[in-house]
Amino acid sequence: MNVQVSSTTLSPGGLRLAHVEDVTEFGAGLEAWNVVYEQLSPGRFEGQIREIWIDEGLEILREAGSRSVWTSGCNIDGVVSFGAPIANGGAGLYYGVPLDDGAVTYLPGGGEFEIFCRGTMDMVSATISEQLLQGFASADSPQLSEKLFRQPLIRQRPQEAARFRRALTEIVQAVERHPDLLSIEASRKAMRDCVLAIAVETLDPGTRKLAWSLHPSAKAWIVRSVREYALDHPQDPLNIADLCQLFRVSRRSLQYAFEDLTGMGAVQFLRNVRLNAVRREIRRLAKNSSESIANIAARWGFWHLPRFAEYYRALFGELPSETRQRDYGCNLIRPTADD
């Protein structure tokens, strides 16, 4: 047996990485799960566990194994779990139903499950406390906030499945490269809201069917209120879930109001507000470059650094490093022609 764990802190903001060479030890140490893994194809087994606790109520788990694996067990009470196979992973079964790249699985708290991964195992999942999911859904999908499904589900939602995989794998990769992201509240909130939004969209069967019609004055009130709040709280890393609760509007109402009146969505508007805040800090700290641009960006909720750089360049026409270098150069004492 060979289990190597880089961190055993599994409290809010915790990261656990493990390399396993015995399938019987694959699920050791998981706090949100009680599972048994069985190797079904011959050969030496090698597996990797990447477990992240964004906060006390949200765990992200990436499991990869080199052999065909049958997994059975349950999650803990008081949570719900969403899972999806990684693209190009082996086909499999979930409760006897074919599991492919377009599927998303759902498991209620304390629910027993069986998953068979043929060829190799590569799964990503998010386990969310019922209270956290219900609170997030209250402004967006009231029917979900009142009652969650009590039976395991598998849904063919290719677009949501692709977004789900991409979001969770990007979070895992970002935290693995920069574990200090978990110590920054704005980054954790951004990650959490991203996962919760996809979970609600995946679980709510009526998400795509609902149509909202707001009076122009209501739209104007939403946009004006959000704008004033952003200006009055320049150091607050705003997010959509906070605004929905603060102004008692749904996520879709917020989105439609901004699209109609500003030509951009609420997410883009708030992202641009935060990008401007980052730019101000980069310029203000140009003389003292001891703090990295990555840390400044993370304080404003930008945990995915390559995408942050893309957003920044698209808005300002230059990279963050170019802003710093230009302002740093302007602050240097330059010799005159008489020197």
| pLDDT for 27 | 83
Cβ distance 182 to 52 under 8 Å? yes
Rounded CA separation 13/2 (Å) = 26
- pLDDT for res 3: 35
Helix residue ranges per DSSP H, the chain: 130-137, 142-146, 158-177, 185-203, 216-232, 240-247, 251-262, 266-284, 293-299, 305-316, 320-331
Q: Which of 242, 250, 196 is nearest to 218 (CA)?
A: 250
Proportion of the chain above pLDDT 90, given as a percent: 24
Query: What does pLDDT average to in each consecutive run of 10 residues of the chain (339 residues)?
Result: 36 77 87 91 91 91 91 92 76 77 88 86 92 79 64 82 90 90 85 87 58 63 80 68 78 81 82 87 79 88 90 94 78 44
- pTM metric for this prediction: 0.75
* Spatial distance between the Cα atoms of 238 and 300, rounded to a whole number of angstroms: 9
Describe the strand order of the beta sheet including 33-39 as a list of residue ranges. 33-39, 69-75, 112-117, 92-94, 97-99
Q: What pLDDT score was predicted for residue 58?
A: 95
CB burial of residue 276 (10 Å; 0-12, 13-18, 19+) = middle
* Angle between helical axes of 305-316 and 266-284 (0-180°, round to 10): 90
DSSP 26: T
Under a CB-based contact definition with an 8 Å cutoff, are residues 21 and 191 in contact? Answer: no
